[in-house]
Structure 1
Amino acid sequence: MNTPFVQPAVVDGAYAADYNLLKPTRTPAWLAVTGLTATLFAALYCSLIDHTLPDFAAWSSTLWLALALVSAVLITPRVFTVGYLISLLAFLIGWRVGAMNGAQVLVWAASFTAIPLLLQFIDCVVSDTRRNQSRQGAWLGRLLWQMTLVRLCFGLNELCHASEKIFAGLGSFHTLEHGFEGLGITQGAALFVVLGGLIELASAISVGLGLFARLGAAVSLVYFLVATLGFGGEWSRGYAWASPGGGGWEYVMMLLVVFGGVMLTGAGKFSIDGWLLQRGVLARWMVPLSTNAAG
């Protein structure tokens, strides 16, 4: 029988209400909802009318943007952290698919929609730091937001690579398939493309959204070590990422450092893990997958 995780103690009556307060206070939600609606219609236009989104890129971008809108309407007003992160992930996939296929109507709509989404995040950070600036450990709270920004950037960056492998259409898929064949994978190259895309998507969900973040960071760390040591050759090209013979190990090392840091501590409060832990719904054996003992 699973033993539920014990709810952390309330300190000064603040902890229990934390996720009710962790949200923007000045940026109206309708701006993001309007932008996501416009971006979804832009994806439908590019799929059905000007056909700049080919084959399965047409429905993948549309479905992801529909998920972003549904989350913004149904989840974000109730739990901002969870709804915002789901919307952001789905929105970024749809945007990336549009950009890779030159769907300019979608790209422009998404570019404008990114503004209120960014403002919501900034507003949430500012509101939280102002609310807690008089409490003991306020500086540590700001340091956590710094780490959150780094985690989101590197975690959600994996969506770019996942999208080009499994969501951007047959043209991108076959290009990457040929690329894997060039690395010496003559059998099952298509399977490796799909497998790599799924692992990168899981990494974005786990590290970027903060869902079982420690587990996801560990898997991501192993994945990039295997990919770069076994196939990519980055460690043999020197340090600089932008070099004539191909990328060196500069960017790979940054990835490993960030994923290693998340593996040690977890994702923090602006994450799905944080919300689940605060509600006490995780079984005890799941807790170490999300945070360390101190967390």
Structure 2
Amino acid sequence: MINHVIRSNYPKKIRGLSIYLWLILVVVYLFGFLSYVLLDTKLFFSNPQLFCFTILSSIITLASLFISPRLLKTRNPSSYFIASYLISMFCLIISLRLSSLSNAYFSETFWFVAFSLNVIRFFSVCLNDIWQVNDDHEDFLVSNNVIEWQLLVIRLAIGLDLIPHFCEKLFAGESFRFALTQNFEQLGLGHNALLFVILSGFIELFGAFSISCGFLTRLGSICLFIYIIVAAFLGHHFALGFMWVNRGGGWEFPVLWSILILSFSLFGACGFSLDFILNKHLKLPSWVRWLL
């Protein structure tokens, strides 16, 4: 089974990748998980919610490297690599953020090394596609179109950037949530502040997964666009001028991010996405395809 999964994650047509990198990632993920379990057990008593969610995200991060054909029900090796990479990268950033909030320096170091290796994996695939001049598209993982890869980098940056925000709202425990609730109360939300903290956390979670992994991309981008505009109004950013460096923050960055996010509702995700896999291997209704 291991050999089959490895071949799935590193199909022969992706010449820029090495099987040894996949094996190193498995070892680094495992050490990151074990270092947290063995060295930071005391956190279970001080913040059990943060400890448990960190363990859960670490397990999913490791398990996602072993996504197999039986789960995807497809013989296309590119699909295994895309799904495995996107899900493991998403959960990896969650583990990295939660380890940072836990002050778990050893596991945080391992997760950062794993992140660096994943960046190398990504650009190996990217450059392998771009540098090919072969007109046979069967040799491409996604495309040799530079613009498509550039948009993919932007999509991943936007989606992964949202992860620290929902981690503190949903997974970091009561102390972090209490501080955020106080901040929301100052925005005039009153007794409903805690509800809005949790609701915004789930919106950010869905939006981050949708954009970074390319899952229901159009739906996720519309939800995130509305969320950011509403948050900018509640935060009074539109009354503070344009420049973000103004005291309290102007509306420069919220509008910039919202426009970038909304663009994915028009064009959807590229081939390096879960939407592409679903659309390619499943017979979906037309209204579902519109959400992808």
Question: Structure 1 or 2: larger helix share?
Answer: 2
The match for 1:116 is 117
Query: What fraction of aligned residue pairs are identical, expressed as a percent?
Result: 26
Out of 8, 14, 17, the residue aligned to residue 26 of structure 1 is 17
Out of 202, 212, 236, the residue aligned to residue 233 of structure 1 is 236
CA displacement at 1:99 relative to structure 2: 1.3
The match for 2:100 is 99
Distance of aligned partners of 1:53 and 1:247 in 2 relative to their CA distance in 1, 3 Å threshold: farther
Opposite residue 145 of structure 1, the aligned amino acid is: W
Opposite residue 91 of structure 1, the aligned amino acid is: L
With 267-276 and 38-47 compared, the bigger mean Cα shift is at 38-47
Opposite residue 242 of structure 1, the aligned amino acid is: V
TM-score scaled by length of structure 1? 0.83
Q: Cα deviation per residue 1:24-83 (whole Å; 9 max; x = unaligned)?
A: 742331122111111111221354156697220001011011001001123498701011
The match for 2:72 is none
Q: Cα deviation per residue 1:221-256 (whole Å; 9 max; x = unaligned)?
A: 011111111x1111222223233x222222212211
TM-score scaled by length of structure 2? 0.84
Instruction: Measure the CA separation in 2 of the matches of 1:102 and 1:161.
Output: 17
Aligned runs of 1:59-208 on 2, under 5 Å?
59-75=52-68, 79-131=80-132, 133-135=133-135, 141-208=145-212
Instruction: Measure the CA separation in 1 of the matches of 2:196 and 2:63.
Output: 32
Instruction: Measure the CA separation in 1 of the matches of 2:13 and 2:238.
Output: 42
Instruction: Measure the CA separation in 2 of the matches of 1:159 and 1:252.
Output: 17
CA displacement at 1:118 relative to structure 2: 1.0
The match for 2:288 is 286
Aligned to 1:239, the other structure's residue is in SS state coil
Q: Cα deviation per residue 1:143-172 (whole Å; 9 max; x = unaligned)?
A: 100000000101121111110110112221
Instruction: Measure the CA separation in 2 of the matches of 1:20 and 1:272.
Output: 18
The match for 2:34 is 41
Out of 243, 261, 264, the residue aligned to residue 263 of structure 2 is 261
Opposite residue 235 of structure 1, the aligned amino acid is: F
Structure 1: unaligned runs, 5 residues or longer: 1-18, 291-295
Instruction: Measure the CA separation in 2 of the matches of 1:95 and 1:234.
Output: 30
Instruction: Measure the CA separation in 2 of the matches of 1:278 and 1:201.
Output: 25
8 Å contact from structure 1 (residues 47, 59) kept in 2: no
Aligned to 2:272, the other structure's residue is in SS state coil
Distance of aligned partners of 1:22 and 1:240 in 2 relative to their CA distance in 1, 3 Å threshold: farther
8 Å contact from structure 1 (residues 22, 124) kept in 2: no
Instruction: Measure the CA separation in 2 of the matches of 1:53 and 1:254.
Output: 39
Question: How many corresponding residue pairs?
Answer: 269
